[in-house]
Chain A
Amino acid sequence: MQQEAMVREAATGNPEARFRQGSALRQLWETNLEVFQRDRMALFGLIVFAAFAIIAVFAPILAPNDPLTPLKNNEGDWIKDAMPYWLAEPGEDVAEGYTNDFVLGTTNIGRDIFSQLIHGSRAALLVGFSAAAAVAVIGTVIGLLAGYYGGWIDTVLMRAADVAFGIPFIPFIIVIAAFFDPSIWNVVIAMAILLWRDTGRVIRSQVLVIKEQAFVSAARVSGASDLRIIFVYIAPSILPLSFLYGSFAIAWAILTEASVSFLGFSDPETISWGFMLQDAFLSLALTRGAFYWIIPPGLCIMLTVMAGFFIGRGYEEVLFPRLRRM
């Protein structure tokens, strides 16, 4: 994922994206419409995000239990390692360990897995979207400035991108996460610091093309200021590209947050899917064969990451017709 931009350059020799004419908003709207109309997989991705967004917003209502408080039985003891009832053998008594109340069973200290899963969508989407927004905004602005002004601004910004490309991503996040108090925002900050590089480079090269076009020259002649030209005339044309990278960044952020949580550098008070997997791993869920605990968080991660990929690819195919499958 992190090498995507460079690979794309390598693979395609930096193809010229297809841009539309017309008013800025209209262009944007049409591109977005085209992406989701023509690509059913991108539409699927959008639906997945929408569904998880709803789950995240209404998590406290949807989750039957508090995700962190262990559940207690009548004697006041924790209901530990309860298997989901639908996994019990038919005809078997729903005895201790099996319970109707918890759709996905409980963890080794009696936390409700289903409720954790629902609350986990909050961390995933929060990290995913804010990191993607940060990456897209920073990358777009840097790409615009570097491409438009050229000269030393371009040199400095692109060397900065080289530096960002040279810093190992996961190790960087681990160090950041270890040095600051545990929080899901560490991932967002680290991504914002490093991952603008892909977006920045690609957008810069597109700006180089666009700024030579007639409508930009016309604007310049009519006396528009540089900033106005950049943000009013050029930016709308490359916004779909930002969306493309933003979608990939969502996927990448969710995956990264999961990895960092899994390594134990997350905030234990914030339930995330990666945290759930770490908890399961440390609590010997593999030995217990507690698949009802291991599989669901992984599937959720996969689903949201795929959604990001699909949307990104949707944009890619509209913007870079050369890459389109035939």
Chain B
Amino acid sequence: MNRKLKRLSTLFALLMLALALAAPATAQTMGEMIPPIIVHSVTQAERPIEYETTRLVVENMRELGLEVEHRAIPWAQLIDEIWYSRVEGEGRAERPFQMTYWRMVGRPERSDPDEFTYNLFHSSVRDGGYNFIGYNNADYDALAEAQRVEVGDKETRLDIICEAQQMIRNDMVNAYFVHPLTPQVVNTDVFNADSVVTQAGIGVHNFWTWIGIEPTGEDKTLITSTTSFLNSFNPLEIAGDAPSRVTEMTWDRLMRINPIGVAEPWAAESVVWEDPLNVVVTLRAGMKWHDGEPVTSEDAAYTFEAALAGTTQVDEDGKEEFRPEAPDYHPFARNVANIEIIDDLSVRYTLKTPSAAFETSSLAKLNLIPKHVWEPIINDLLTRDDADADSIQEEIPIGSGPFKYVAYDVNEFVLLEAFDDHWSRPKIDAWLMNVLPNQEATLGQIQSGEMNFLWEWPGDPGVLQDIVADNEHLDLFSAISIGFQYFAFNVRYAPFDDVSFRQAIAHTIPQQFIIDNIYNGFAAPADSFVSAALEYWRQCEDLPTYNFSIDGARELLAGAGYTWDDDGRLRYPAN
């Protein structure tokens, strides 16, 4: 032990000597060499667009004199190396991630900027939440909190949201480059094209289309497909894009996000704010569950109670931990302090703090669930340690939405039919979604009529465009998504802890080239986490721009004190 220590110290002394000798030559002018950087993305097989974009940017980064490795791995593994490896010593990856391709998808409830504004950057959700990049800025936190409570005054809230966008753009913690345009195809032999509703920031695959689309003839079944997974049919789980399509139709919601992105009463006849903390919701009269039971205020209350349900456990360190039974929905109900049933159809929700987003992200988010079905299940779960609501699969799912369950085969298909007792019965009779990961097959089916509604297309949009041009019975729709594609930097560690370095990397992203060549034009340039689709929230002063320019990036780096050695390798600023 001692000898080892001695040897180490000798070594150390020698090292210092060597450094001291070398110092006159380099120390004045150059800092340390920037170690190799790893940039993550999913594999080419999984998402070619993301892979190719990353490849392109990695090559440009190399031109800055950086040694960069492009690490393409399957999504399941990527989650592990990014989400669970944000801090040194955590997760199963060797070291925390540095930079990764990432995407946020558009969902109706994201029509309010609150979710992205708060969850992506607030320092409180840095350790386990969506702020996986580790952004930690007290000024920003203040803005994110302020926009949340600014209930009455929309214009003041706009100013705050604008300021938040400016700050994020300046700090360049996320390098946004596109909002994808989702290409979608409808068979106009079967459906009246005018009856298809495009929801701002989402596209044609939305609730309003499902209930409003008009069949032109006898064929009254909408047949669509998904390339992803259809692995749950559960009102208390957010399992992904395709299952969300199914739950939003089978279970009604008190409010729904309308086509222009605003929450409006739906299963509720009225939503009345008594003051910033108290809201009274009155249900429509005469609604029924799919099993024939009436929908009452008990159910509306229980919907929130189920989302709030959970047990408090004490871990080894004596720290208390609340474990919700519906972990996916708990965050959206958390702000509710009290629920009071007024009469058969009315409920009063009392909030802990005023919230501008309560309608959008709670009343329009939670699926109304029947108390008579779920109370026994949740009560049972509360007594158990080993399961939560995510692991439940009802044999016959019961909701009160305009469509009801007919058949479901996990990861194969879901078949729903119109619920005749619904006050807004859909114009189609049945709705079918197949799981069809094979894009060639998808194209074949939309042309042959085996499928008549294509909403999800991860492939090359240009191919779809050609197909539509060749087939008169097909119409192409496209909408800018609320979602966005970007490179996320782990700002906790060097070199990405330096704003100049991040800004320089932003300059290496050839935005227009990516749009033209990789997206075939099916994308809009992005510069913020608030999409151009949300027009109201984009009425801001122009945000800073980062034009594609390797020279610009080099200048920026040079200005910040970075240098290049004789081999052209980039070095940190001295000291």
Direct contact of A and B (CB under 8 A): yes
**A323 on the B face (CB < 8 A):** no
Q: Which of A131-139, A251-259, A282-290 contacts B (4 or more CB under 8 A)?
A: A282-290
Q: With a CB–CB cut-off of 8 A, which chain A residues contact B70?
A: 269
Q: Which of A25-33, A73-81, A299-307 contacts B (4 or more CB under 8 A)?
A: A73-81
* Docked complex Cα distance between A108 and B51 (Å): 14
**A268 on the B face (CB < 8 A):** yes
B59 CB to closest chain A CB (Å) equals 8
Cross-chain contact B45 with A284 (CB below 8 angstroms):
no
Cross-chain contact A279 with B459 (CB below 8 angstroms):
no
B515 CB to closest chain A CB (Å) equals 11
Determine the interface band of chain A, counting residues with CB < 8 A from chain B: 20 to 34
Cross-chain contact A282 with B48 (CB below 8 angstroms):
yes
Query: A70, A78, A264, A287: which contacts B443 (Cβ < 8 A)?
Result: A287
Interface residues of A in 166-204 (CB under 8 A from B): 178, 182
**B517 on the A face (CB < 8 A):** yes
**A215 on the B face (CB < 8 A):** no
Cross-chain contact A284 with B443 (CB below 8 angstroms):
yes
**A109 on the B face (CB < 8 A):** yes
Interface residues of A in 219-244 (CB under 8 A from B): none
**B475 on the A face (CB < 8 A):** no
Question: How many Cβ-Cβ contacts under 8 Å join chain A to chain B?
Answer: 50
**B463 on the A face (CB < 8 A):** yes
A79 CB to closest chain B CB (Å) equals 10
Cross-chain contact A278 with B45 (CB below 8 angstroms):
yes
Query: A80, A268, A278, A284: which contacts B51 (Cβ < 8 A)?
Result: A268
Query: A264, A281, A288: which contacts B463 (Cβ < 8 A)?
Result: A288
Determine the interface band of chain B, counting residues with CB < 8 A from chain A: 20 to 34
Query: A109, A182, A264, A288: which contacts B46 (Cβ < 8 A)?
Result: A264
**B231 on the A face (CB < 8 A):** no
**B264 on the A face (CB < 8 A):** no
Query: B55, B440, B513, B517: which contacts A80 (Cβ < 8 A)?
Result: B517
* Docked complex Cα distance between A153 and B376 (Å): 62
Indicate whether A284 sits within 8 Å of B459 (C-beta atoms), given known contacts A264-B43, A264-B46, A279-B44: yes
Indicate whether A109 sits within 8 Å of B43 (C-beta atoms), given known contacts A284-B443, A287-B440, A287-B463: no
The 0/1 profile, CB within 8 Å of A marked 1, for residues 428-450 of chain B is 00000000000110011000000
- Looking at chain A's contact residues, the main secondary structure is loop
Q: With a CB–CB cut-off of 8 A, which chain B residues contact A109?
A: 48, 52, 517-518
Closest to A278 in B: B45
Query: A77, A264, A278: which contacts B517 (Cβ < 8 A)?
Result: A77
Closest to B55 in A: A68
Q: With a CB–CB cut-off of 8 A, which chain B residues contact A178?
A: 74
Q: With a CB–CB cut-off of 8 A, which chain A residues contact B517?
A: 70, 77-78, 80, 109-110
* Docked complex Cα distance between A110 and B516 (Å): 13
Indicate whether A76 sits within 8 Å of B439 (C-beta atoms), given known contacts A109-B52, A283-B48, A288-B463: no
17 contacts between A and B (CB under 8 A): A77-B516, A77-B517, A108-B460, A109-B48, A109-B52, A109-B518, A110-B517, A182-B43, A282-B44, A282-B459, A283-B459, A283-B460, A284-B440, A284-B459, A287-B444, A287-B467, A288-B463
Chain B contacts to A: CB under 8 angstroms: 43-46, 48, 51-52, 55, 70, 72, 74, 439-440, 443-444, 459-460, 463, 467, 513, 516-518
Assuming A77-B516, A268-B45, what are 6 further A-B pairs, CB within 8 angstroms? A78-B517, A182-B72, A268-B44, A282-B48, A282-B459, A287-B467
